[in-house]
Amino acid sequence: MAVKLNMRKVVGVVVWGVVGTGVLVLLVAAVRYRNNNVCKGFHIEISGPSANLFVDKKGIADLLVSNGVGKGGSRPITSFNLRRLESTLEKNVWIEKAQLFFDNNGILRVNVIEREPAARVFTSDGGSCYIDSTGVQLPLQDRVQARLPVFTGYPGAKVRLQGRDSILTRDILSLSDFIRQDSFWSAQVAQVNIRADRTFELLPEVGSHRVTLGDGSDIGLKFHRLYVFYKEVLSRTGFDKYSRIDVSYAGQVIGIRKGSEESRYDSVQGMNNIRQLIQSAQQLQQDTLKQNVRPLERSTMTEQSLTTYDLVPDARPVDPPTKPVVPARKPRAVMRRQP
Protein backbone atom coordinates (compact mmCIF):
# COMPACT_ATOMS: atom_id res chain seq x y z
CA MET A 1 0.00 0.00 0.00
CA ALA A 2 2.84 2.39 0.92
CA VAL A 3 4.62 1.62 -2.35
CA LYS A 4 1.49 2.55 -4.36
CA LEU A 5 1.17 5.89 -2.53
CA ASN A 6 4.82 6.72 -3.17
CA MET A 7 4.42 5.92 -6.85
CA ARG A 8 1.40 8.24 -7.09
CA LYS A 9 3.38 11.04 -5.51
CA VAL A 10 6.28 10.50 -7.89
CA VAL A 11 3.95 10.46 -10.91
CA GLY A 12 2.24 13.65 -9.66
CA VAL A 13 5.53 15.44 -9.21
CA VAL A 14 6.69 14.39 -12.66
CA VAL A 15 3.44 15.50 -14.29
CA TRP A 16 3.44 18.89 -12.57
CA GLY A 17 7.11 19.31 -13.44
CA VAL A 18 6.40 18.68 -17.11
CA VAL A 19 3.43 21.11 -17.05
CA GLY A 20 5.48 23.80 -15.35
CA THR A 21 8.35 23.36 -17.79
CA GLY A 22 5.95 23.62 -20.71
CA VAL A 23 4.39 26.82 -19.35
CA LEU A 24 7.82 28.32 -18.78
CA VAL A 25 8.88 27.46 -22.33
CA LEU A 26 5.74 29.08 -23.72
CA LEU A 27 6.31 32.23 -21.66
CA VAL A 28 9.90 32.51 -22.80
CA ALA A 29 8.84 31.99 -26.40
CA ALA A 30 6.14 34.66 -26.06
CA VAL A 31 8.61 37.12 -24.56
CA ARG A 32 11.13 36.43 -27.32
CA TYR A 33 8.44 36.78 -29.95
CA ARG A 34 7.29 40.08 -28.45
CA ASN A 35 10.84 41.39 -28.18
CA ASN A 36 11.59 40.47 -31.76
CA ASN A 37 8.19 41.68 -33.05
CA VAL A 38 7.93 45.04 -34.78
CA CYS A 39 5.25 47.71 -34.79
CA LYS A 40 2.90 47.03 -37.67
CA GLY A 41 0.71 50.12 -37.34
CA PHE A 42 -1.72 51.81 -34.96
CA HIS A 43 -5.42 52.06 -34.27
CA ILE A 44 -6.96 55.17 -32.64
CA GLU A 45 -10.18 55.18 -30.63
CA ILE A 46 -11.62 58.40 -29.17
CA SER A 47 -14.38 58.26 -26.57
CA GLY A 48 -16.04 60.65 -24.19
CA PRO A 49 -19.29 61.46 -22.39
CA SER A 50 -20.78 63.15 -25.48
CA ALA A 51 -21.03 62.21 -29.14
CA ASN A 52 -19.06 65.28 -30.23
CA LEU A 53 -15.41 64.61 -31.03
CA PHE A 54 -13.35 67.67 -30.22
CA VAL A 55 -10.07 65.73 -30.52
CA ASP A 56 -8.75 65.40 -34.07
CA LYS A 57 -7.64 61.88 -35.06
CA LYS A 58 -5.32 63.32 -37.67
CA GLY A 59 -3.43 65.29 -35.03
CA ILE A 60 -2.94 62.13 -32.97
CA ALA A 61 -1.83 60.17 -36.04
CA ASP A 62 0.71 62.85 -37.00
CA LEU A 63 2.17 62.70 -33.49
CA LEU A 64 2.47 58.91 -33.63
CA VAL A 65 4.12 58.96 -37.06
CA SER A 66 6.64 61.55 -35.88
CA ASN A 67 7.59 59.13 -33.09
CA GLY A 68 8.21 56.23 -35.47
CA VAL A 69 4.79 54.58 -35.31
CA GLY A 70 3.88 54.00 -38.94
CA LYS A 71 2.03 51.60 -41.15
CA GLY A 72 4.27 48.69 -42.07
CA GLY A 73 7.20 50.00 -40.04
CA SER A 74 10.09 47.91 -38.81
CA ARG A 75 10.76 49.48 -35.42
CA PRO A 76 10.81 46.91 -32.58
CA ILE A 77 7.99 47.12 -30.07
CA THR A 78 10.41 47.21 -27.15
CA SER A 79 11.95 50.46 -28.43
CA PHE A 80 8.76 52.47 -27.80
CA ASN A 81 8.33 54.50 -24.61
CA LEU A 82 4.57 54.24 -24.29
CA ARG A 83 4.46 56.21 -21.04
CA ARG A 84 6.16 59.17 -22.72
CA LEU A 85 3.78 58.97 -25.66
CA GLU A 86 0.81 59.03 -23.27
CA SER A 87 2.19 62.10 -21.50
CA THR A 88 2.71 63.83 -24.85
CA LEU A 89 -0.87 63.19 -25.92
CA GLU A 90 -2.24 64.39 -22.57
CA LYS A 91 -0.58 67.77 -23.12
CA ASN A 92 -3.52 68.43 -25.43
CA VAL A 93 -5.98 70.16 -23.07
CA TRP A 94 -8.92 68.43 -24.78
CA ILE A 95 -7.51 64.98 -23.89
CA GLU A 96 -8.37 63.93 -20.35
CA LYS A 97 -6.59 60.55 -20.48
CA ALA A 98 -4.59 58.52 -23.02
CA GLN A 99 -3.79 54.79 -22.84
CA LEU A 100 -1.41 53.05 -25.28
CA PHE A 101 -0.55 49.35 -25.61
CA PHE A 102 0.46 46.80 -28.25
CA ASP A 103 -1.83 43.90 -29.04
CA ASN A 104 -0.67 40.42 -30.03
CA ASN A 105 -0.59 41.41 -33.69
CA GLY A 106 1.90 44.21 -33.18
CA ILE A 107 -0.73 46.97 -33.56
CA LEU A 108 -0.43 49.95 -31.23
CA ARG A 109 -3.80 50.58 -29.64
CA VAL A 110 -4.37 54.26 -28.79
CA ASN A 111 -7.39 54.86 -26.54
CA VAL A 112 -8.14 58.53 -25.89
CA ILE A 113 -10.79 59.94 -23.55
CA GLU A 114 -11.68 63.54 -24.36
CA ARG A 115 -13.00 66.17 -21.98
CA GLU A 116 -16.66 67.12 -22.08
CA PRO A 117 -17.45 70.86 -22.20
CA ALA A 118 -20.05 71.90 -19.62
CA ALA A 119 -20.60 75.59 -20.43
CA ARG A 120 -19.49 78.33 -22.77
CA VAL A 121 -18.12 81.42 -21.05
CA PHE A 122 -17.54 84.91 -22.42
CA THR A 123 -15.07 86.90 -20.34
CA SER A 124 -15.23 90.62 -19.64
CA ASP A 125 -12.30 91.31 -21.99
CA GLY A 126 -14.12 89.80 -24.97
CA GLY A 127 -12.61 86.31 -24.90
CA SER A 128 -14.60 83.09 -25.17
CA CYS A 129 -13.96 79.48 -24.18
CA TYR A 130 -15.55 76.29 -22.95
CA ILE A 131 -15.07 74.89 -19.45
CA ASP A 132 -15.48 71.25 -18.48
CA SER A 133 -17.13 69.85 -15.35
CA THR A 134 -13.95 70.40 -13.32
CA GLY A 135 -13.53 74.01 -14.43
CA VAL A 136 -10.68 73.37 -16.88
CA GLN A 137 -10.66 76.02 -19.61
CA LEU A 138 -11.00 74.56 -23.12
CA PRO A 139 -10.37 76.38 -26.42
CA LEU A 140 -13.10 76.71 -29.04
CA GLN A 141 -13.17 74.32 -31.98
CA ASP A 142 -13.96 75.56 -35.48
CA ARG A 143 -15.17 72.22 -36.80
CA VAL A 144 -17.40 71.30 -33.85
CA GLN A 145 -19.79 73.57 -31.97
CA ALA A 146 -21.32 72.42 -28.69
CA ARG A 147 -24.84 73.47 -27.71
CA LEU A 148 -24.34 74.57 -24.11
CA PRO A 149 -25.61 77.20 -21.66
CA VAL A 150 -23.92 80.52 -22.44
CA PHE A 151 -22.55 82.74 -19.65
CA THR A 152 -21.46 86.31 -20.35
CA GLY A 153 -19.57 88.87 -18.29
CA TYR A 154 -17.12 86.60 -16.48
CA PRO A 155 -14.67 88.91 -14.66
CA GLY A 156 -11.08 88.61 -15.82
CA ALA A 157 -9.44 87.08 -18.84
CA LYS A 158 -9.33 83.48 -17.54
CA VAL A 159 -11.71 81.20 -15.70
CA ARG A 160 -10.31 80.75 -12.23
CA LEU A 161 -10.46 77.67 -10.01
CA GLN A 162 -8.66 79.34 -7.13
CA GLY A 163 -9.01 82.67 -5.38
CA ARG A 164 -11.84 85.16 -5.42
CA ASP A 165 -13.72 83.86 -8.46
CA SER A 166 -13.50 80.14 -7.59
CA ILE A 167 -16.97 80.25 -6.00
CA LEU A 168 -18.37 81.98 -9.09
CA THR A 169 -16.89 79.24 -11.30
CA ARG A 170 -18.50 76.53 -9.16
CA ASP A 171 -21.84 78.36 -9.31
CA ILE A 172 -21.57 78.52 -13.12
CA LEU A 173 -20.97 74.77 -13.31
CA SER A 174 -23.88 74.00 -10.95
CA LEU A 175 -26.24 76.29 -12.85
CA SER A 176 -25.15 74.94 -16.23
CA ASP A 177 -25.56 71.34 -15.06
CA PHE A 178 -29.10 72.07 -13.81
CA ILE A 179 -30.12 73.72 -17.09
CA ARG A 180 -28.63 70.92 -19.24
CA GLN A 181 -30.42 68.25 -17.23
CA ASP A 182 -33.87 69.78 -17.83
CA SER A 183 -35.23 69.90 -21.38
CA PHE A 184 -37.61 72.79 -20.64
CA TRP A 185 -34.95 75.12 -19.29
CA SER A 186 -32.44 74.03 -21.94
CA ALA A 187 -34.88 75.35 -24.53
CA GLN A 188 -36.00 78.45 -22.60
CA VAL A 189 -32.74 79.86 -21.22
CA ALA A 190 -30.98 81.71 -24.05
CA GLN A 191 -28.21 83.34 -22.04
CA VAL A 192 -27.03 83.88 -18.47
CA ASN A 193 -25.48 87.24 -17.63
CA ILE A 194 -23.01 87.53 -14.75
CA ARG A 195 -23.61 90.85 -13.01
CA ALA A 196 -21.02 93.02 -11.30
CA ASP A 197 -21.98 91.63 -7.87
CA ARG A 198 -21.40 88.06 -9.22
CA THR A 199 -25.09 87.16 -9.30
CA PHE A 200 -26.95 85.75 -12.31
CA GLU A 201 -29.56 87.17 -14.66
CA LEU A 202 -31.37 84.96 -17.17
CA LEU A 203 -32.41 85.99 -20.69
CA PRO A 204 -35.21 83.72 -21.97
CA GLU A 205 -35.84 82.52 -25.51
CA VAL A 206 -39.58 83.23 -25.19
CA GLY A 207 -40.57 86.63 -23.79
CA SER A 208 -38.80 89.98 -23.50
CA HIS A 209 -38.46 89.90 -19.70
CA ARG A 210 -35.34 89.23 -17.66
CA VAL A 211 -35.10 86.93 -14.66
CA THR A 212 -33.08 87.88 -11.59
CA LEU A 213 -31.79 84.59 -10.20
CA GLY A 214 -29.40 85.85 -7.52
CA ASP A 215 -26.41 83.77 -6.50
CA GLY A 216 -25.87 80.07 -7.12
CA SER A 217 -27.64 78.85 -3.99
CA ASP A 218 -30.99 76.97 -3.99
CA ILE A 219 -31.03 76.75 -7.79
CA GLY A 220 -33.71 74.07 -7.90
CA LEU A 221 -36.09 76.02 -5.66
CA LYS A 222 -35.62 79.24 -7.63
CA PHE A 223 -36.34 77.56 -10.95
CA HIS A 224 -39.36 75.87 -9.41
CA ARG A 225 -40.81 79.22 -8.34
CA LEU A 226 -40.11 80.60 -11.80
CA TYR A 227 -41.79 77.62 -13.45
CA VAL A 228 -44.90 78.03 -11.28
CA PHE A 229 -45.02 81.74 -12.18
CA TYR A 230 -44.70 80.88 -15.87
CA LYS A 231 -47.43 78.29 -15.69
CA GLU A 232 -49.95 80.03 -13.47
CA VAL A 233 -49.42 83.74 -14.20
CA LEU A 234 -47.60 84.35 -17.50
CA SER A 235 -49.67 81.71 -19.26
CA ARG A 236 -52.66 84.01 -18.60
CA THR A 237 -51.13 87.47 -18.91
CA GLY A 238 -48.60 86.76 -21.68
CA PHE A 239 -44.82 86.44 -21.55
CA ASP A 240 -44.26 90.11 -22.44
CA LYS A 241 -46.32 91.73 -19.69
CA TYR A 242 -43.41 91.93 -17.22
CA SER A 243 -40.01 93.51 -17.77
CA ARG A 244 -38.36 91.67 -14.89
CA ILE A 245 -39.11 88.63 -12.73
CA ASP A 246 -37.16 88.22 -9.50
CA VAL A 247 -36.93 84.77 -7.86
CA SER A 248 -33.82 85.46 -5.81
CA TYR A 249 -35.66 85.82 -2.49
CA ALA A 250 -36.88 82.76 -0.59
CA GLY A 251 -40.63 82.19 -0.89
CA GLN A 252 -41.22 85.12 -3.28
CA VAL A 253 -41.73 85.79 -6.97
CA ILE A 254 -41.54 89.51 -7.74
CA GLY A 255 -42.93 90.61 -11.10
CA ILE A 256 -42.20 94.15 -12.36
CA ARG A 257 -44.56 95.18 -15.13
CA LYS A 258 -43.56 97.14 -18.19
CA GLY A 259 -44.33 100.87 -18.29
CA SER A 260 -45.12 103.28 -15.51
CA GLU A 261 -48.90 103.56 -16.09
CA GLU A 262 -51.32 101.08 -14.60
CA SER A 263 -54.85 100.88 -15.96
CA ARG A 264 -57.85 99.70 -13.99
CA TYR A 265 -58.20 96.77 -16.37
CA ASP A 266 -54.65 95.65 -15.67
CA SER A 267 -55.27 95.87 -11.94
CA VAL A 268 -58.52 93.92 -12.10
CA GLN A 269 -57.10 91.37 -14.49
CA GLY A 270 -54.07 90.89 -12.27
CA MET A 271 -56.31 90.29 -9.25
CA ASN A 272 -58.38 87.79 -11.22
CA ASN A 273 -55.25 85.91 -12.26
CA ILE A 274 -54.12 85.68 -8.65
CA ARG A 275 -57.56 84.51 -7.50
CA GLN A 276 -57.57 81.85 -10.21
CA LEU A 277 -54.16 80.69 -9.07
CA ILE A 278 -55.36 80.36 -5.48
CA GLN A 279 -58.49 78.46 -6.57
CA SER A 280 -56.59 76.13 -8.88
CA ALA A 281 -53.86 75.31 -6.34
CA GLN A 282 -56.00 72.80 -4.47
CA GLN A 283 -57.07 71.03 -7.66
CA LEU A 284 -53.53 71.08 -9.06
CA GLN A 285 -52.21 69.00 -6.19
CA GLN A 286 -54.80 66.28 -6.89
CA ASP A 287 -54.21 66.36 -10.65
CA THR A 288 -50.46 65.88 -10.30
CA LEU A 289 -51.09 62.57 -8.56
CA LYS A 290 -52.90 61.28 -11.64
CA GLN A 291 -50.47 62.33 -14.34
CA ASN A 292 -46.80 62.76 -14.97
CA VAL A 293 -45.41 66.09 -13.84
CA ARG A 294 -42.26 67.96 -14.76
CA PRO A 295 -39.16 67.36 -12.64
CA LEU A 296 -39.38 70.83 -11.13
CA GLU A 297 -42.85 70.07 -9.77
CA ARG A 298 -41.71 67.08 -7.75
CA SER A 299 -40.07 69.08 -4.96
CA THR A 300 -40.88 67.80 -1.49
CA MET A 301 -39.91 71.11 0.15
CA THR A 302 -42.73 72.68 2.15
CA GLU A 303 -41.96 75.99 0.46
CA GLN A 304 -42.80 74.52 -2.91
CA SER A 305 -46.09 72.87 -1.98
CA LEU A 306 -48.71 74.62 -4.09
CA THR A 307 -51.35 74.32 -1.38
CA THR A 308 -49.37 76.71 0.81
CA TYR A 309 -49.29 79.54 -1.74
CA ASP A 310 -50.84 82.73 -0.40
CA LEU A 311 -50.49 84.96 -3.45
CA VAL A 312 -51.72 88.53 -2.92
CA PRO A 313 -50.84 91.68 -4.89
CA ASP A 314 -48.55 94.22 -3.29
CA ALA A 315 -49.69 97.77 -4.15
CA ARG A 316 -46.59 99.44 -2.77
CA PRO A 317 -44.48 100.83 -5.71
CA VAL A 318 -41.15 100.14 -4.05
CA ASP A 319 -37.99 98.40 -5.15
CA PRO A 320 -37.31 94.77 -4.18
CA PRO A 321 -35.88 94.30 -0.67
CA THR A 322 -32.16 94.69 -0.34
CA LYS A 323 -31.78 91.73 2.01
CA PRO A 324 -32.97 88.14 1.56
CA VAL A 325 -36.29 87.43 3.23
CA VAL A 326 -36.26 84.66 5.79
CA PRO A 327 -38.86 82.09 4.64
CA ALA A 328 -40.86 82.24 7.86
CA ARG A 329 -44.12 82.97 6.09
CA LYS A 330 -45.88 81.42 3.13
CA PRO A 331 -44.45 82.12 -0.33
CA ARG A 332 -46.05 85.00 -2.17
CA ALA A 333 -45.95 86.42 -5.68
CA VAL A 334 -45.64 90.20 -5.71
CA MET A 335 -46.78 92.29 -8.69
CA ARG A 336 -45.05 95.64 -8.90
CA ARG A 337 -44.92 98.49 -11.33
CA GLN A 338 -41.59 99.52 -12.75
CA PRO A 339 -40.69 102.98 -11.39
Is 11 a residue whose pLDDT tops 60?
yes
Q: Quick one: the chain helix, strand, coil %, rounded to 5?
A: 40, 25, 40
Per-residue model confidence as pLDDT tens digits over 80-100? 889 999 999 999 999 999 999
107 contacts: CB under 8 Å, gap ≥ 6: 40, 41, 42, 43
Question: Which three-class secondary structure state does DSSP give residue 298?
Answer: coil
Q: How far apart are CA 257 and CA 16, in angstroms?
A: 90
Question: Which pLDDT score is estimated for 217?
Answer: 92
Q: Rounded mean pLDDT of the chain? A: 74
More confident residue, 318 or 193: 193
Q: Is the pLDDT of residue 316 over 50?
A: no
Cα–Cα distance, 167 to 163 (Å, whole number): 8
| Sign of CA pseudo-dihedral 179, 185, 187, 191 | negative
Locate the domains of the chain by residue range: 1-36, 41-114, 116-206, 208-339
Specify the fold of 41-114.
Answer: Ubiquitin-like (UB roll) (3.10.20)
Q: What is the model's pLDDT at position 234?
A: 84
Residue that wins the pLDDT comparison between 217 and 33: 217
230-281 confidence digits (pLDDT tens): 888 888 887 778 899 999 998 888 888 876 434 333 444 544 554 454 455 4
Tell me the CA distances in angstroms from 247 to 28, 184, 259, 261, one per residue in order. 72, 18, 21, 24
